[in-house]
Structure 1
Amino acid sequence: MRESSSSFPPHNNTSNAIHKFWNTIKCCSSSSTSASFLFISLFICTLFFTQWSHYIYFPHSTSTTNSLQFSNWTTLSNNNISHDYPKKDGYVLNCSSSKALTITCPPNYPPSNRNHKNFPSNQTCPDYFRWIHEDLKPWKKEGITREMVESLKEKAHFRLVIVNGTAYVKEYMKAYQTRDVFTYWGVLQVLKLYPGALPDLDLVFQCHDKPSIMKKQYRGWRAFVFGSRDPPPQFHYCGGDSTFDIVFPDWSFWGWPEVNVKPWVPLEKDLAEGNTMKNWTSREPFAFWKGNLRNGPRPKLAKCNSVNKWNAQIIDQDWIKESREGFKDSDLSKQCVHRYKIYMEGNAWSVSEKYILACDSMSLLIDPKYYDFFTRSLVPMKHYWPVNTMRLCKSINFAINWGNNNTKKAQEIGKEGSKYIFEQIKIENVYDYMFHVLNEYAKLLKYKPTIPEGAVELCSDRFACSPMGLETTYKIETMVNGPSEQGPCELPPSYEPLTLKSIHDQNAKIKEQVLAWEKENYGWSWWTWW
């Protein structure tokens, strides 16, 4: 995904209303007094602001006081799209003041103080939850200080603080599109699902594509020169073997309105139904990829766009055209019609990975360098086919030929990938992962969190009441019903060092075997392979 800034035109009703207003006042006397002119000017300003206020979506503080201001205009999109919403019984939004300049949180928010420590779960979390321990390992011995957290305020997008079950955010800079807003929304749902269960905490979050806390900066001569071996703790949507970023579920689980991607629960249902449109053997017998070819290493993928030569169809997504046409050709649930789907990183990891894996197609993962919170437990040749980047097109072509000659095994790989997504990445597990990574992180703090000066309280009323089209639609659709009747799943223990080594060695050995098959197929001569 490419980060960029976008500007949107104001709603046409604004200009229409002003035009009608001026047609009306043309009938008035031309000898108006200065007082009447002042009145008219104030009326126009009020009218104009009223029209714009429909597109206000997040209050944030731009000063050191706690006064609330609104920023970041956005426009309605795809108003013709309808969704069915489940009934919300446990929590009711109070939107009586939604048109006011300042939307305040209810005095009884959060609505329940139930402590879920007294409601243990009888379920153990999925195995990928173990990676939480690995992500937090750098701070296990020495803990996390306030100075470490605050050292990132120049680079992070926001600071999130939870005190007595209430969340507060201090925005440092605006994230791309609504990444930050839907991340806040996800945290609010965890607090409502398990009210009173999370301890006080204080963290910083970065929303760019790439993780940024590089391990090499805190090792060897660099650590000696810069005087620090303790990396600052930063939350991010993805991580890598060369970074210390703490991985957290991405914003798209609650929807991505800018590109019309539904929240995970309805989209998961659509994907499951889409898988039934064509059984595997009747699908197109080649690989498919669609997206932005101008990000990261993806220009190399464009060279593989030949069904006849490389068994691959590569489509460069025109987002401007798609936006104008209402994203009618971007329905993810209707893209599960190929036997093989390709996943390739852009600037970093991409949210598309879970959608690709969910298609029942044999997923071709092109040598990922980054991971999100669940992908580290994927196993090559069980959940996906590993593709190397050295001879990209040949590697893709070999995978397709192998799959079409070993259809039973190719179908099994596709099914296992989808099974992993549908069974392991349920929204309940997403919330439980968020809960556990926040809970374990809070245990490492060596200070008592306090509300930062200029921070704003977060609550559902403040986020979901303004009439904002698809963005608010997704928020209402993803609002939890009420407090859970049981606690989150039980966090499994950390991996033993030997177990971790075994996992890495096993995955590397499988990838080496696939590479050996490819070399054998194309010949061992260096000029035919390299």
Structure 2
Amino acid sequence: MPSSTSSSSPSFVEEFQRSWLTSLIGFALLCVGIWLLTFNEGRAVRHAHSLDEAYNRVIPLNPFETVKPELDGHLVHITGPLIIEEPLTEPEYGISIQAVKLKRRVQMYQWIEERSPRDYVDSGMEQNYDSSDYYYVTEWRDKLVDSQSFYIRHGHHNPTEIPLKSYTYISPFVRIGHLVLGEQIKEKFTDYVEVTSDERPERKDVKLHMGIYYHCDDVWNPEVGDIRVQFYYAGIAAEIVSVVAMQKDGVLIPYPTSKGRTIALLRHGNLNVNQMFSAEHSDVRLETWKLRAAGIFILYASSEKISVSQIPFLRNMVTGDMTSSTNFAISLSVSLLVIAIAWILYRPMLGAGLVVAAISPFFYCTMGIADESCLMNENDNCTSSKLNMYSKVADVNTKHQKYLNFVEEARKSYVPCDQAKCNCHSPVITNDLKVFKKGISKQSIDNVKTKYESHRCTQLLYITTHFCRGTKYQIINHRLYRDKNCMFPARCAGIEHFLLKLLPKLPDMEFIINTRDWPQIHKQYGVFGPVFSFSKTSDYHDIMYPAWAFWEGGPAISLYPRGIGRWDIHRDLLGKLGTETAWDDKIPKAFFRGSRTSSERDPLVLLSREKPELVDAQYTKNQAWKSDADTLHQAPAPEVSFEDHCKGVAASFRLKHILLCKSLVFHVGNEWLEFFYPALKPWVHYIPIEANANKEKLEELLDFVLNNDGIAKEIAHNGYSMIWNNLKLSDVTCYWRKLLKKYAALLTYKPEIDENLIEIRQ
């Protein structure tokens, strides 16, 4: 049996020192979640007990019978029409209505401040500042808006008080049959209906329009300080209602239960006792589930944070993936345990069932930990000190020790990125723009189109110099302009999709976008101007942008002869296909398909020829390859465990697609970058392979992953999750927005429309 070495896990103290903040946040969330569930379930139990107690004691009444003094202090149920003797009135507005409640709503026309955050970077590129744009509009508001706190107070003054207050009138005498409704019962009438009236008020300064009374000169053009009044009623006379409450001296009031709660039920319509309590139980369950869901979510969030601290018992049960079903199962188990404790005394069978459901995942995970952490020797004794936490075998394998060390070191140093607002990729923007921290001048933009143009274009055998550096774009007054000609129209269209979408949010700017495969500003030329390129190496000053292929103009293959395009569609498709085949059902061999763009791919194909059970690698088209035996004209798609991503003469579009297959990815070479590559970490999201790796090196790596299935599965899942969670089309749009805003903040001049450009419209 193949074997591998042991690798000690970091201690709790070491992990806490490394991630103490996230650990504390996790424990705080754990406490909050448990408290919320305990409070919620305790309240639910008391409410259920109180309702059951009330149901067993309620006495139905006939609304046409007189009050029975002997029922004082008892819980009663009565159904009948509302009897209201005196109407509620507002004489100044001609309002008179027989109802339990009449509500007067008063609004004032006021200035409102709207704040729109705007991020920009100072010329030093050292700190991010949060600035804001302020807008002022007028609206009808129920409460006073303090204009003294406005950023711009001049010309935006609101009154300091509303001359007429909102108010709710309550009828003093309301009854059903011969029983009078108490104040607490009348408060339960909350289904308000708008009062509609055509009767014009007598006051000349009040105007009626659409049921609303305006205190202003012009209904259509109100001024700041004008008010309007609207009326609503609840509980109209003769409406049939059903009430469960305690009778006392001919008045219906709340009934106190033995659990300290009060019962006072009010429902519209003719409902019997069973219907009343059934409806109340439904309402209680709904409210309970709202807080219950919140508590479960908080516990799930706590498991994500606590997982970072790698607590010994939890380290194999709780992973660091925000989409992990394991984390959700653990948090759900803890939630069920808390719920069970609350219910077990009141409903023992329900509580016991919840306890069993709660602890079963822990038993399962504990057994899984035992299976992975220790093997039994001849005496059935566990020799866990000799085992590696990742390896599926227990013997020492020095050949794989260095790879195990790589994995362990990567796990210790890796810090998950902040997924909010595409922050995983924000460091790339800062790094690319830091060479321009002194600002970008008009001359530097012109340099891009002129400096070294003739020399480079002659070298590249271009007839015209128009396309040598890239395509010029301008954004002026939220309109997009571009050079009349574009070398690759589909690529320009893929870029312009995002630019047009972001126009309303972008300031004026101009920039050069390189749509070719090769970057433009080599460091040997110096920083003479900015050029946007989708890919580069560390030898270039180009500013990376999301490639056009996220929307249009991707590489053409036999399945997509006009280009792949629409990343969002492929993302959903690949994400679905990636999860259809479970890890244990995948074929344990490496897989590669691609053209022979360089000799660096030959060792993999040669290894496939020698050991087809280990590798399935073939070229899809023949480019200077001497054998047709290893050349395909169509790429098959078997369900394999490992996939090779080999670089060509520049960056490849397919890395993001391969990672979504949920197979372990071997990434060959780290020279070429796209904007999202830096967020992917070797030995965390993929296994790195040197560009000049020979057959022996490749075979050694494959042997390592085949004998360490736990590592392979974890890295494959991490790579999938990183792309799935942080490379949505919305993340691409977000990156474009951040990049262009920060770039525009560096311009030292105000761009003017270039008459040689054409306008691009949607």
Q: Return the letter of the residue paired with 1:281.
A: D
Per-residue Cα deviation, 1:291-327 (whole angstroms, up to 9, x for no partner): 221358445554343371683222222499xxxxxx9
**1:205 paired residue number:** 513
Could you say what secondary structure the match of 1:339 adopts? strand
Deviation at residue 116 of structure 1 after TM alignment: 6.8
Deviation at residue 207 of structure 1 after TM alignment: 1.6
Deviation at residue 354 of structure 1 after TM alignment: 0.6
Deviation at residue 339 of structure 1 after TM alignment: 0.7
Deviation at residue 393 of structure 1 after TM alignment: 2.5
How does 1:240-251 map onto structure 2 within 5 Å? Answer: 240-251=537-548
Change beyond 3 A, Cα 1:301–1:404: closer
Larger radius of gyration: 2
Per-residue Cα deviation, 1:77-129 (whole angstroms, up to 9, x for no partner): xxxxxxxxxxxxxxxxxxxxxxxxxxxxxxxxxxxxx9774799x94432321
Q: Return the letter of the residue paired with 2:522.
A: M
Determine which of 571, 580, 604 is the counterpart of 1:268.
Answer: 571
**1:44 paired residue number:** none
For structure 1, the residue ranges without an aligned partner over 5 or more in a row are 1-113, 219-229, 321-326, 461-530
For structure 2, the residue ranges without an aligned partner over 5 or more in a row are 1-114, 119-131, 135-418, 450-464, 624-631
For 1:379 and 1:360, the matched residues in 2 are separated by 16
Determine which of 720, 725, 736 is the counterpart of 1:434.
Answer: 736
**2:500 paired residue number:** 188
- Alignment of 1:237 with 2:534, yes or no, is yes
Determine which of 412, 421, 428 is the counterpart of 2:714.
Answer: 412
**2:413 paired residue number:** none
Deviation at residue 267 of structure 1 after TM alignment: 0.8
- Alignment of 1:365 with 2:667, yes or no, is yes
Q: Return the letter of the residue paired with 1:187.
A: L
Query: TM-score, normalised to structure 2's length?
Result: 0.40
Deviation at residue 167 of structure 1 after TM alignment: 0.7
Deviation at residue 431 of structure 1 after TM alignment: 0.4
For 1:132 and 1:407, the matched residues in 2 are separated by 36
For 1:456 and 1:438, the matched residues in 2 are separated by 20
Determine which of 146, 163, 167 is the counterpart of 2:476.
Answer: 163
Per-residue Cα deviation, 1:445-502 (whole angstroms, up to 9, x for no partner): 1111122222111111xxxxxxxxxxxxxxxxxxxxxxxxxxxxxxxxxxxxxxxxxx
For 1:299 and 1:242, the matched residues in 2 are separated by 26
Identity fraction in percent: 25
For 2:638 and 2:479, the matched residues in 1 are separated by 41
Q: Return the letter of the residue paired with 1:347.
A: V
Per-residue Cα deviation, 1:238-294 (whole angstroms, up to 9, x for no partner): 122111010000011113464322411111110111113322222221111112213
Per-residue Cα deviation, 1:18-38 (whole angstroms, up to 9, x for no partner): xxxxxxxxxxxxxxxxxxxxx
**2:550 paired residue number:** 253
Deviation at residue 386 of structure 1 after TM alignment: 0.8
Could you say what secondary structure the match of 1:456 adopts? strand
- Alignment of 1:280 with 2:583, yes or no, is yes
Change beyond 3 A, Cα 1:360–1:119: farther
For 1:366 and 1:190, the matched residues in 2 are separated by 35
How does 1:106-505 map onto structure 2 within 5 Å? Answer: 117=118, 123-141=420-438, 143-153=439-449, 154=465, 155-171=468-484, 174-175=487-488, 178-191=490-503, 195=504, 197-218=505-526, 230-256=527-553, 258-259=556-557, 260=560, 261-295=564-598, 297-299=600-602, 301-306=604-609, 308=611, 311-318=614-621, 335=637, 337-460=639-762
For 1:415 and 1:337, the matched residues in 2 are separated by 15
Q: Return the letter of the residue paired with 1:156.
A: R
For 1:276 and 1:434, the matched residues in 2 are separated by 30
Could you say what secondary structure the match of 1:290 adopts? strand
Per-residue Cα deviation, 1:417-468 (whole angstroms, up to 9, x for no partner): 00000001111111010001111111111111122222111111xxxxxxxx
Per-residue Cα deviation, 1:127-164 (whole angstroms, up to 9, x for no partner): 321210110011102x1122211222342231111001
Change beyond 3 A, Cα 1:426–1:307: farther
Q: Return the letter of the residue paired with 2:509.
A: L
Q: Return the letter of the residue paired with 2:442.
A: R
In the alignment, is the contact (CA less than 8 A) between 2:421 and 2:734 conserved in 1? no
Deviation at residue 208 of structure 1 after TM alignment: 1.8
For 2:601 and 2:758, the matched residues in 1 are separated by 39
Could you say what secondary structure the match of 2:473 adopts? strand
In the alignment, is the contact (CA less than 8 A) between 1:312 and 1:396 conserved in 2? no
Q: Return the letter of the residue paired with 1:459.
A: R
Per chain length, whose mean CA-contact separation is higher, i.e. which structure has more relative contact order (CA < 8 Å, sep 6+)? 1
**2:196 paired residue number:** none
Could you say what secondary structure the match of 2:422 adopts? coil
For 1:310 and 1:241, the matched residues in 2 are separated by 38
For 1:231 and 1:312, the matched residues in 2 are separated by 47
Change beyond 3 A, Cα 1:178–1:301: farther
Please state which structure has a larger fraction of its residues in strand. Answer: 2
In the alignment, is the contact (CA less than 8 A) between 1:157 and 1:172 conserved in 2? no
For 1:336 and 1:269, the matched residues in 2 are separated by 19
For 2:622 and 2:552, the matched residues in 1 are separated by 17
Deviation at residue 181 of structure 1 after TM alignment: 2.2
Change beyond 3 A, Cα 1:316–1:457: same
For 1:274 and 1:290, the matched residues in 2 are separated by 18
Q: Return the letter of the residue paired with 1:411.
A: K
In the alignment, is the contact (CA less than 8 A) between 1:231 and 1:244 conserved in 2? no
For 1:307 and 1:182, the matched residues in 2 are separated by 42
In the alignment, is the contact (CA less than 8 A) between 2:486 and 2:492 conserved in 1? no
For 2:599 and 2:525, the matched residues in 1 are separated by 23
Could you say what secondary structure the match of 2:608 adopts? coil
Could you say what secondary structure the match of 1:414 adopts? helix
Deviation at residue 395 of structure 1 after TM alignment: 2.6
How does 1:8-19 map onto structure 2 within 5 Å? Answer: none
Could you say what secondary structure the match of 1:169 adopts? strand
Deviation at residue 375 of structure 1 after TM alignment: 0.7
Computed over aligned residues only, the root mean square deviation of the Cα atoms, in angstroms, reads 2.9
For 2:708 and 2:644, the matched residues in 1 are separated by 18
Could you say what secondary structure the match of 1:276 adopts? helix
For 1:392 and 1:171, the matched residues in 2 are separated by 48
How does 1:486-525 map onto structure 2 within 5 Å? Answer: none
For 1:299 and 1:328, the matched residues in 2 are separated by 17
Could you say what secondary structure the match of 2:532 adopts? strand
In the alignment, is the contact (CA less than 8 A) between 2:481 and 2:760 conserved in 1? yes
Change beyond 3 A, Cα 1:296–1:189: farther
Change beyond 3 A, Cα 1:158–1:310: farther
For 1:202 and 1:307, the matched residues in 2 are separated by 55
In the alignment, is the contact (CA less than 8 A) between 2:604 and 2:698 conserved in 1? no
For 2:491 and 2:610, the matched residues in 1 are separated by 36
Q: Return the letter of the residue paired with 2:568.
A: V
Q: Return the letter of the residue paired with 1:146.
A: K
